[in-house]
């Protein structure tokens, strides 16, 4: 879970910033808290719209991409300081990253009231139309006498205060998880899957046409995306953007990522389109899934996405048409989830497993033989397709990468390579049982 924290004071000496820094350090093993600086945010003025300026966009992207927000406010003249109100003005004018976002308000002040009136006012502002934040009720943290509250190392001195802070941050983490799950797309049936990506998730980049051929470049400019030698902190590693590209482009499989809003946003472009196992074009990055599939495939794309989203299947695997004795191209579709268990999209990889099969047979001295007792199953549900529960498949989609060449194996299911939707194969009594991971069978 990643939280962002903003201090409402921009002065050099800020006890609210000290409070947030203490929380970021003290709870680093519990949650990631990123402090966001608002010193450079310009004064709000409708006549001089700077929503796309680097300073405003930096705050916007941090808040929009976070799971939750912590706002620490001092009290100036019985209300929030101008800097805090100013940044909220920018984040509720044309940009709305706080809409539906869980927020926790805390505060520190010089005197006994601990910014209580400012916190109350800030909560009212956050719940106003245009802001629409979801503020955690109650659970006020009011740090009074802030000048004496910290030691020389920026640590809170009072153990009781820290213990109380422990209890509230635990509640806020639970609050964030609940709001996050309530906010997740929740199509009731596969027919409700939105392949036009009309919704919005916390990684959606607004203001750029998804179908634009130059979506990657325009979206990157919009969010001031880092590139080149800039380091990115990962779960268990630290890589530059260049190193990430090298790493992904040298994977021995073709990778594709579609997010939980059904937007096709990445593939590891390691080969020219015409040389790929599942050809994809650079201009497709950013498209809604509905734009990279023909109409005849849409229903089956929805089936696969919905099966992954709902947990009916965690992995869908299937071959493509045209496989033969020298190649067996497989498409795998893996559901991705965040640390809260929320579905976050599809990880697709494409690989020719025939070299693996041939190597296995060569080193083991085994061979493939037909199994007359084999029972075909659906790659989506794992159900015996002879029961008649299977659905009609889409035809292959040349736009999304599936070739339209004639099938050399007429009994292979037709596949739409981006969606993974396939026609369940008819019973083939002489087919061997196949391990969906390796493709090799033994008899």
Question: For the chain, what percent of residues have pLDDT higher than 90?
Answer: 50
pLDDT of res. 405: 37
CATH-assigned architecture of domain 2-183? 3-Layer(aba) Sandwich (3.40)
How crowded is the C-beta side of 369, counted as CA atoms within 13 Å? 7
- Report how far residue 214's alpha carbon sits from residue 399's, in angstroms, rounded to the nearest whole number: 17
- Domain spans of the chain, in order of start: 2-183, 195-357+380-426
CATH superfamily of domain region 195-357+380-426: PAS domain (3.30.450.20)
What the block records as the tokens of 100 is 């539906």
Tell me the β-bridge partners of 69.
4, 103
Nearest Cα residue to 322 out of 413, 198, 201, 214: 413
pLDDT (average), residues 366-387 = 72
Mean pLDDT of 429-433: 42
Closest C-alpha among 67, 55, 54 to residue 5: 67
pLDDT for residue 386 is more than 60: no
Three-class secondary structure of residue 166 per DSSP = helix
**pLDDT tens-digit series, residues 34-53:** 999 999 999 999 999 999 89
Asked if pLDDT for residue 433 goes beyond 60, the answer is no
Length of the chain as a residue count: 443
Q: How many Å apart are CA 246 and CA 37, to the nearest integer?
A: 32
Structure tokens at 387: 């029961």
Output the pLDDT for position 243. Answer: 95
Residue 186's pLDDT band, with cuts at 50, 70 and 90, is confident
Instruction: Give the residue-averaged pLDDT of 117-135.
Output: 91
**Widest Cα–Cα separation across the chain:** 84
List, in sequence order, every residue forming a beta bridge with 106; answer none if it has no partner.
Answer: 72, 141
pLDDT, tens only, 313-363: 999 988 887 788 889 999 999 999 988 888 999 999 999 999 999 999 999
Residues 7-36, mean pLDDT to the nearest whole number: 90
The pLDDT value given to residue 85: 94
Q: Mean pLDDT throughout 262-291?
A: 93
């Amino acid at each position: 879970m990643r939280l962002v924290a903003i201090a409402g004071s921009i002065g050099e000496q800020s006890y609210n910033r000290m409070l947030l820094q203490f929380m970021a350090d003290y709870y680093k093993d519990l949650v990631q808290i990123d402090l966001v600086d608002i010193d450079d945010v310009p004064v709000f003025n409708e006549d001089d719209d700077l929503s796309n300026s680097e300073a405003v966009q930096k705050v916007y992207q941090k808040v929009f991409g976070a799971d939750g927000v912590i706002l620490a406010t001092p009290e100036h003249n019985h209300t929030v300081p101008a800097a805090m109100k100013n940044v909220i003005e920018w984040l509720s004018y044309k940009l709305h990253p706080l809409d539906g976002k869980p927020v926790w308000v805390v505060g520190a002040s010089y005197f006994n009231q601990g910014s209580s009136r400012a916190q109350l006012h800030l909560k009212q502002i956050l719940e106003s139309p245009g802001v629409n934040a979801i503020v955690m009720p109650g659970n006020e943290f009011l740090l009074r006498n802030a000048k004496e509250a910290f030691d020389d190392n920026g640590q809170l001195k009072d153990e009781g205060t820290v213990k109380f802070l422990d209890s509230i941050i635990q509640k806020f983490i639970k609050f964030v998880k609940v709001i996050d799950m309530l906010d997740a797309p929740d199509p009731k049936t596969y027919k409700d899957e939105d392949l036009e990506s009309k919704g919005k998730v916390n990684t959606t980049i607004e203001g750029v046409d998804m179908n634009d051929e130059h979506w990657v470049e325009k979206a990157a400019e919009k969010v001031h995306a880092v590139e080149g030698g800039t380091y990115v902190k990962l779960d268990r590693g630290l890589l530059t953007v260049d190193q990430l590209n090298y790493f992904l482009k040298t994977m021995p499989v073709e990778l594709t990522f579609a997010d939980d809003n059904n937007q096709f946003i990445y593939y590891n472009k390691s080969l020219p389109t015409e040389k790929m196992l599942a050809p994809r074009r650079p201009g497709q990055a950013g498209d809604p899934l509905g734009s990279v599939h023909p109409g005849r495939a849409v229903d089956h794309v929805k089936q696969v996405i919905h099966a992954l989203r709902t947990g009916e299947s965690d992995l869908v695997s299937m071959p493509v048409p045209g496989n033969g004795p020298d190649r067996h191209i497989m498409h795998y579709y893996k559901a991705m989830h965040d640390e809260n268990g929320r579905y976050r999209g599809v990880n697709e990889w494409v690989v020719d497993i025939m070299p693996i099969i041939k190597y296995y047979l060569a080193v083991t001295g085994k061979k493939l033989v037909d199994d007359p007792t084999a029972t075909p199953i659906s790659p989506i549900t794992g159900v015996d397709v002879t029961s008649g529960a299977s659905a009609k498949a889409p035809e292959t989609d040349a736009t999304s990468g599936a070739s339209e060449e004639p099938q050399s194996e007429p009994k292979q299911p037709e596949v739409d390579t981006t969606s993974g939707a396939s026609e369940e194969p008819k019973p083939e009594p002489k087919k061997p049982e196949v391990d969906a991971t390796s493709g090799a069978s033994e008899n």
